[in-house]
């Protein structure tokens, strides 16, 4: 059913895989979203610490998107940067397993900020490359709507997993899903490169 809906948007193979990879990663991140403050309290943090952690993540992400995304290195290596970004994201999500204090949490937010900061502009440039205005609108609406839907589901699952099992299990699942995203991105980007070489 989902595949049929996605097929209506006429995505090429590269965009389709990037969409799936992004949705898997978004689901992983969304697992912690609604219970983030509870985790901060469990490690001895306060509401202020939660705010500082989010600020660190946002600031690092913003700085990298602006500075790194405008470099020649970025323009020449977007595919590799996508893969690297997903691996760093997995590292950050698994890093939650080692968090025992707010300081540890701040370090993890730096790692996650770096991951999203390099991943987002690279992913965006590939996903919507060479499209008409109408195609671009359809493609982004598919990504945005699907992401919100899955993040909503993730919020329910994340709360259930943390309350029924533990945050440790939750972070293992988040890390595993992020690794799956990275691995899938490697295979599709390599496969696409080969097709492009043949076309040349």
Question: Would you say residue 123 lies in a domain?
Answer: yes
Range of the domain at 100: 28-189
Quote the pLDDT of residue 68: 81
Question: Would you say residue 200 lies in a domain?
Answer: no
Quote the pLDDT of residue 195: 43
C-beta of residue 154 within 8 angstroms of C-beta of residue 27: yes
Question: Would you say residue 13 lies in a domain?
Answer: no
Q: Give helix 133-164 / helix 13-30 axis angle, nearest 10°.
A: 30
Specify the pTM.
Answer: 0.87
Quote the pLDDT of residue 5: 58
178 CB-near residues (< 8 Å, 6+ apart): 24, 25, 28, 86, 89, 90, 92, 93, 94
Quote the pLDDT of residue 199: 40
Quote the pLDDT of residue 2: 52
195 CB-near residues (< 8 Å, 6+ apart): none
Q: Give helix 167-199 / helix 78-95 axis angle, nearest 10°.
A: 170
Question: Would you say residue 15 lies in a domain?
Answer: no
The predicted-structure confidence for 114-143, as pLDDT tens digits, reads as follows: 999 999 999 988 887 767 677 778 888 999
Residue with tokens 């059913």: 1
Q: Would you write out the chain's pLDDT as a tens digit for each of its 200 residues?
A: 455 556 666 677 888 889 999 999 999 999 998 899 999 999 999 999 999 999 999 999 999 999 887 788 888 888 899 999 999 999 999 999 999 999 999 999 999 999 999 999 999 888 877 676 777 788 889 999 999 999 999 999 999 999 999 999 999 999 999 999 999 999 766 655 444 444 44
Distance CA 96, CA 62 (A): 22
- Give me the number of domains the chain comprises: 1
Question: Would you say residue 173 lies in a domain?
Answer: yes
Quote the pLDDT of residue 6: 61
C-beta of residue 47 within 8 angstroms of C-beta of residue 102: no
C-beta of residue 111 within 8 angstroms of C-beta of residue 98: no
Question: Would you say residue 19 lies in a domain?
Answer: no
CATH number of the domain to which 88 belongs: 1.20.1250.20
Hey, what's the torsion of the CAs at 10, 12, 13, 15, to 10 degrees?
-100
Quote the pLDDT of residue 13: 80
Quote the pLDDT of residue 71: 82
Q: What single-letter DSSP state applies at residue 166?
A: -
Question: Would you say residue 164 lies in a domain?
Answer: yes
């Amino acid at each position: 059913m989902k595949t049929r809906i996605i097929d209506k948007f006429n995505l090429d193979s590269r965009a389709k895989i990037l969409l799936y990879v992004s949705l898997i990663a978004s689901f992983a991140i969304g697992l912690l979203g609604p219970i983030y403050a509870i985790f901060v309290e469990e490690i001895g943090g306060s509401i202020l610490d939660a705010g500082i952690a989010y600020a660190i993540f946002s600031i690092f992400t913003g700085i990298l998107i602006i500075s790194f995304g405008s470099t020649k290195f970025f323009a020449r290596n977007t595919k590799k940067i996508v893969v690297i970004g997903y691996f760093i994201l997995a590292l950050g999500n698994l890093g939650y397993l080692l968090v025992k204090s707010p300081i540890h949490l701040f370090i993890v937010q730096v790692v996650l900020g770096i991951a999203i900061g390099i991943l987002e502009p690279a992913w965006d440039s590939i996903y919507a490359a060479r499209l008409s205005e109408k195609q671009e609108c359809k493609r982004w609406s598919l990504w945005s709507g699907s992401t919100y839907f899955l993040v909503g589901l993730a919020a329910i699952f994340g709360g259930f997993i943390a309350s029924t099992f533990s945050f440790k299990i939750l972070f293992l699942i988040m890390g595993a899903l992020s690794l799956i995203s990275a691995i899938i991105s490697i295979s599709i980007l390599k496969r696409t490169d080969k097709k492009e070489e043949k076309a040349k």
